[in-house]
Structure 1
Amino acid sequence: MRHIIIGFFLLAIQFLSFSQDDENPVLWSHEVNKISDTEYELIIKGDIYEGWHVYSQFTDEGGALPSEFTFSKVGEEFELVGGTEESKTVKEYSDIFEVEETFFKEEAIFTQRIKLLNPSTKQVKVNLFYQVCKEVCIPADVDFVFSLDGSEAVVDEIVLDEKSKLLTSNLKLDLKNKALLSQGQENIGSGSNLWVIFALGFLGGLIALLTPCVFPMIPLTVSFFTKHSKKKSKGIANALLYGFFIVLIYFLLSVPFHLFDSVDSQILNTIATNVWLNIIFFAIFMFFAFSFFGYYELTLPSSWANKMDAASSKIGGVLGVFFMAITLAIVSFSCTGPILGGLLGGTTLAEGDVAMNLTAGMTGFGVALAFPFALFALFPAWLNSLPKSGGWMTTVKVVLGFLEIALALKFLSNADLVGHWGILKREVFLGIWILIGLLMTLYLFGVFRFPHDGPKAKLSKGRIIVGAVSAIFSLYLVLGLANVTSLKLLSGFPPPDFYSIFEKESDCPLGIDCFKDFDTGLAYAKENNKPILLDFTGWACVNCRKMEENVWSEPDVYEILNNDYVLISLYVDDRKELPEEEQFNFQYDSGRIKRIGNIAQKWGTFQDVNFNAVSQPFYVLLSPDLEVLNTSIQNTDANSYKVWLEEGLRAFEKKVISSNP
């Protein structure tokens, strides 16, 4: 079970790391053989790049994804004669999935016989879903059209009907003064945010150093370099190189995510707010948490570490040091994996470019992990000052387990908000967090224990201090639940105030009247001759909640929002389907077609096409006749936001005066 979940997590990451635009390592072709007037043989052939392999239809369950065929109009125009036959396959045992996998190397050939039920059938359409793997796995699908009479096969094309043409046109705004949007754009945190995430990654690396998977490795590794080198300078150089390679490895783990740049501009938001992906993250972090509690050990296949260790011993030199660094990354995975998982999940909650955030966080993590190896190599005498390994490291793991559960709940909350399930309302979410805090407090004060805890001993000062902090935090949550305090320190993590088990007058932030449809809000603004605050937001957007709860709640800002602007809040992660009459095919200026089937697709595309932006929160000030009144703005402080709103009002007043001399 352990390897299945690890493997599933790795496959999910691999899936997210590749776009359909990347070069596919399989070249497909197809042909048809006529057997009789009513029977044909359909042949699909794939030439597979060297080192890659495609999985069979019959590979064991619980492993990689099998190839699957979907035949259109089976039972209407033709029937299948037997199953789809395959060419020669290879079988190998997978350490990750613990099953025997069946796959093709170099070439895959599939053959399917069919018998016509309708003599007038001229072509047969087949879809093949498959997975091709090397160091990574790419799931893909391909369509084939077999011509049975030798004529040219016709592939269905998406054609814009009149409704799609009209709605495509309606989604594109005729903005006036559009150039103002990007002039001096206020985006506090775009650069500094990366440093914050780097610092959080660094903190995660420091925490990982205190775990039993990493901490004992510090003196052993440093001693190896300093004692097994003929020259002291050589040992120090190797230790520094070892630290550099650790940083490089964790940096490289983030590189595949930058391939998202070639995909649809809303793909990162789609991934971060996808209901099922958030549920998967919830399950993974819960699994990580119970590994920290000591109920099972989370490890990568031992053969990986053995191969890397053997390579480092055999090769030696710079390359040998590199393989030693990889070995550390593998053997420490049981402790670093859950922390890295939290880092991966946290980047989807942060503002800005997810790939850049992940790179900053992973690099910070690697720097922290490498730091002591380099430091103690330079000053080996300091090794004597290191505390001894002991039960305190187990306590660190358990505390991390509780934090993993708290983070897991955030992903479940994202799915609940986006899916509009109404399960984790704000009060329920806070109640569970209070319970987590109380349990952690009781554990730290020795009220109960976990399977891997050592003999009961006197509580250390550090454990008492952390327990007291946990108790204070739990009390803070209780006061917030009772509305005694505002919980501003947690803005963005609990569900918004209006997502409550108690009936609220408004489902808009802070009870401000808002519109969740642009056309409706625009009509109201025209009728009342008021400027528009266009708010691109999301149910699962942490920084949107921070702005609403920390900035919009300020009395001066709230008064302006409530009295002077028409607020239009467009949720770019709302997966609710549009009514059928509002669904359409949107055509970009490049000619690319995109299906608009739900609210998220509509407003995400609307933001991208009109404002060349895909991040949230994102604010724009417009007049009722669609003139841009000020630069766009994103995550900022209350004073800057107030000044920005006031400048927009002055611009609108000047416009009104000039049009009514």
Structure 2
Amino acid sequence: MRKLLVLLFGLWFAINLQAQTDAEPSVWSHQVNKISDTEYELVFKGQIMEGWHVYSQYTAEGGSLPSEFTFEGAGKDYELVGKTEESETIKEYSDIFEVEETFFKGEAIFTQKIKLLKQDVRQITVNLFYQICKEVCIPKDELFQVSLDGDSFVAEDKQVDAASMTKAAALKLNLKNKHLLNQGDLSEAKEKSGLWMIFGLGFLGGLIALLTPCVFPMIPLTVSFFTKQSGQKTKGITNAILYGFFIVLIYFLLSLPFHLFDSIDSQILNTIATNIWLNLLFFLIFIFFAFSFFGYYELTLPSSWANKMDSASTKVGGFLGIFFMALTLAIVSFSCTGPILGGLLGSTTLAEGNVATNLSAGMVGFGLALALPFALFALFPAWLNSLPKSGGWMTTVKVVLGFLELAFAFKFLSNADLVGNWGIFKREIFLGIWIVLFVLLALYLFGFFRFPHDGPKQKLSVGRRFVGVLSAAFGVYLILGTFNFTNLKILSGFAPPDFYSITKSENDCPLGLDCFKDFEEGVAYAQEKNKPILLDFTGWACVNCRKMEENVWSDSKVYPLIKDEYVLISLYVDDRKELPQGEQFDFQYESGRIKNIATIGQKWGTFQTINFNAASQPYYVLLSPNLEVLNDAVQYTDVEAYADWLRSGLEKYQLSMNK
């Protein structure tokens, strides 16, 4: 139970953790020092990635979990001589647990002396349980098979053949000035703003959910219950605020399973944005959500769940009773909130950064927007009189949401097409579908057709006409953009890239630039032309990659630099094309894990991880033709910063040439 609580605390504070692909945050090894025929010294050494830390065996109780060794056979085959000794540690007070914690950074070394009780014992099994933390804490187990004779022990049954080892070795670059890669911070502000953007999207989704028939009528009823049934005004306000807090808590708790998945494999959630079948599944789910908003059927959780929660709130009473009331609201309103939450999940998979963290931020924003009215109207009950009456306008809100769900659905279908390189869902086709959707939405709002759950036909309201005009205007904007009368920069990352076009099939590089899709070919060309390299780790389904290309690369301060001064090498880490059979191989990471490299994306994703210790896209590196790092690596940033970065790299390259 304590381990679970510590993990949950870590998840709550995980706001900046960058997902890592296959690069373990710690790598362990062991050695044996023979003291005598019966005495040995066992040394366990962990190399800890920068920014992470591992807790000592002797960290204070009541804080984070200590490291724990289990020596199998101790007391029977051998005995432990003294305590397990540790290398230098760091002590720091924890505001979370209010204790002074002890931990390792950079390196952890544990030393344990043993004395044999049986002379024939030649191998010892040792298990290490530990937490490795970087704002979020991941519990891990390390198994050591220690040979007292000094023989090596292979943990995995699978062996890497010589051909695979040769291909794997070719991926490792001999980079010069590699220390420069981690000195930049151009992306930090963008990453933080991205998290706030997801929170804002969640908050906006919650505000929209408030306007639906499942939630809006419950506001005055619930507030009246708390203010009138509690006996005292102060108690009623307190209960309403507590009710709102529990709403936020419930939606935050819904995101926790995604953190647990993420702690097992940090890329489980990120694969949603690049896996063909998952994108197709999301496409079908969003179509299903859309038609529920159109009134053809209703999504509901089992009514027995709501009945049980409602009954529990009455029986239990007090704080727990209010919690069950909030849970009842979440269940009853699912038919309206479910599709919106589905859209929130979809948007987090397309955003930069840790998907689980993004989802938590969005869920908290969503819950906060739902909770605020209950607290505010309890504090100011006179405001209830200004609330509009329930009516047909709420059905209109659901239909508008249905059209937005359809538009979002085709984004996932576009992802599948891009990653699969099908060449079917080109930019013009995608835009054509969106044009049809927003024109249909405008026609609906102007009353040209109706859906099954629409009430009697009434005079169009000012608000409905206004949204209809906006929808029609957006449709016209899309038409102009399709025929290149205007740019569609506000759709950067949503529509397929400009080069993925019916009319521009001769060049599949961004903005018509010349680029290489193979690293070695690009380096050879750079050496021939004596030009520096812009190494671009990107993805077909990477939203922020498209934003950078269409908003930053296209700028007059940036485009000429890339076009004329650099050799562009774009490596797509989500490319699902299979490598030729002769180029496929097994790659063994330092942790001992073996991964089969069968696709182009797997090759370049592994290439990025082992050389640059990074997994996110976009990720840009400036190199000289002889693989000298010219500047810090950057990710999603703005025009000015990116242009300065390119110019700085070019100046350093020219200086090195003049030496």
Find the counterpart in structure 1 of residue 330 from structure 2. 329
Deviation (angstroms), 1:259: 2.4
Return 5+ residue gaps in structure 2 as ranges: 1-20, 23-153
Distance 1:252 1:266 in 2: 21
Q: Tell me the equivalent position of 1:393.
A: 394
Shift of 1:269: 3.2
Measured in 2, the distance between the counterparts of 1:552 and 1:417 equals 20
List aligned pairs for 1:315-326, cutoff 5 A: 315-326=316-327
Q: Which residue of 2 aligns with 1:585?
A: 586
- What residue identity is the alignment partner of 1:598? T
* Contact 2:576–2:599 (Cα < 8 Å) also in 1: yes
Deviations 1:435-459 (A, max 9, x none): 0010000000000000000000000
Q: In structure 2, what residue type is equivalent to 1:281?
A: F
Structure 1 SS opposite 2:558: helix
1:206 aligned partner: 207
Aligned counterpart, 1:41: none
Query: Aligned residue for 1:274?
Result: 275
Aligned counterparts, 1:340-359, within 5 A: 340-359=341-360
CA contact (8 A) 1:535 1:620 kept: yes
Is the partner of 2:458 in helix, strand or coil?
A: coil
Structure 1 vs Structure 2 CA RMSD: 1.6
Supply the AA of the counterpart residue of 1:218. I
Structure-2 residue corresponding to 1:424: 425
What is aligned with 1:228?
229
- Separation in 2 of the partners of 1:638 and 1:316? 57
SS in 1 for 2:402: helix
> For 1:294-305, what aligned pairs fall within 5 Å after superposition?
294-305=295-306
User: How much has 1:263 moved relative to structure 2?
Assistant: 3.9
Q: How far 1:156 sits from its partner (Å)?
A: 8.6
Q: Is the 8 A contact 1:266 1:604 kept in 2?
A: no
Task: Report the residue type matching 1:526 in the other structure.
Answer: Q
Q: Number of paired residues? A: 507
Paired residues for 1:166-315 under 5 Å = 166-187=166-187, 188-315=189-316
- Contact 1:266-1:605 at 8 Å conserved across structures: no
Equivalents in 2 of 1:155, 1:367: separation in Å?
48
Instruction: Summarize deviations over 1:336-392 as a string: whole Å, max 9, x none.
Output: 000000000000111111111111111100000000000001111111111000000
Q: CA deviation at 1:264?
A: 4.5
Cα distance in structure 2, aligned partners of 1:270 and 1:598: 14
Q: Are the counterparts in 1 of residues 182 and 633 from structure 2 also a CA contact under 8 Å?
A: yes
Q: What is the distance in 2 between the residues matched to 1:262 and 1:392?
A: 44
* Match of residue 377 from structure 1: 378
1:158 aligns with 2:158: yes
SS at 1:448 equivalent = coil
Scaled by the length of structure 2, what TM-score is found?
A: 0.75
- Partner-residue secondary structure (3-state), 2:447: coil
Q: 1:156 to 1:545 in 2, by over 3 A?
A: closer
Q: Do the aligned partners of 1:543 and 1:617 also contact (CA within 8 Å) in 2? A: yes
The 8 Å contact of residues 265 and 608 in structure 1, kept in 2 or not, is answered as: no
**2:473 is the counterpart of 1:472:** yes
Identity of aligned residues (%): 73
User: Residues 457-606 of structure 1 correspond to what in structure 2 (within 5 A)?
Assistant: 457-606=458-607
CA-CA distance at 1:155 after TM superposition: 12
Report the AA paired with residue 163 of structure 2. Answer: K
Please tell me the residue identity of whatever aligns with 1:510. L
SS in 2 for 1:186: coil
Residues of 2 paired with 1:453 and 1:609: CA distance?
57
Greater relative contact order (Cα 8 A, min sep 6): structure 1 or 2? 2
Q: Is the 8 A contact 2:531 2:567 kept in 1?
A: yes
- How far apart, CA to CA, are the structure 1 residues paired with 2:265 and 2:525? 33
**1:185 Cα deviation from its structure 2 partner:** 2.7
Aligned-partner Cα distance in 2 for 1:169–1:163 = 10
Once the two structures are superposed, what CA deviation does each residue of 1:72-109 show, in whole Å capped at 9, x if it has no partner? Answer: xxxxxxxxxxxxxxxxxxxxxxxxxxxxxxxxxxxxxx
Whole-angstrom distance in 1 between the partners of 2:164 and 2:283: 38
SS of the aligned residue for 1:475 comes to helix
Task: Tell me how far 1:423 sits from its aligned partner.
Answer: 1.7
- The alpha carbon displacement at 1:268 in A equals 3.7
Distance in structure 2 (CA, Å) of the matches to 1:497 and 1:582: 31
> Can you give the 5+ residue segments of structure 1 that lack an aligned partner in the other structure?
1-18, 21-153
Instruction: Find the residue that maps to 2:191 and give its secondary structure.
Output: coil
> For the residues of structure 1 that align with 2:369 and 2:247, how far apart are their CA atoms?
10
Q: Is the 8 A contact 1:531 1:649 kept in 2?
A: yes
Distance 2:264 2:243 in 1: 36
Matched, 1:642 2:643: yes
Per-residue Cα deviation, 1:103-157 (whole angstroms, up to 9, x for no partner): xxxxxxxxxxxxxxxxxxxxxxxxxxxxxxxxxxxxxxxxxxxxxxxxxxx9992
1:266 and 1:165 map into 2 onto residues whose CA distance is 25
Question: 2: distance between equivalents of 1:282 and 1:367?
Answer: 28
Question: For the residues of structure 1 that align with 2:382 and 2:403, how far apart are their CA atoms?
Answer: 36
Counterparts of 1:6-21 in structure 2, within 5 Å, are: none
Asked if 2 retains the 8 angstrom alpha-carbon contact of 1:426 and 1:494, the reply is: yes
Q: 1:266: Cα distance to partner?
A: 4.2
**Cα distance in 2 for residues equivalent to 1:639 and 1:231:** 58
Measure, in 1, the Cα distance between the counterparts of 2:571 and 2:157: 31
Aligned letter for 1:317?
G
Measured in 2, the distance between the counterparts of 1:648 and 1:382 equals: 59
**1:172 maps to amino acid:** K
Checking the alignment, whether the CA contact within 8 Å between 1:629 and 1:652 is kept in structure 2 is yes
Contact 2:209 2:340 in 1 (8 A): yes
Give 1:260 deviation, angstroms.
3.9
Deviation at 1:181, TM superposition (A): 0.8
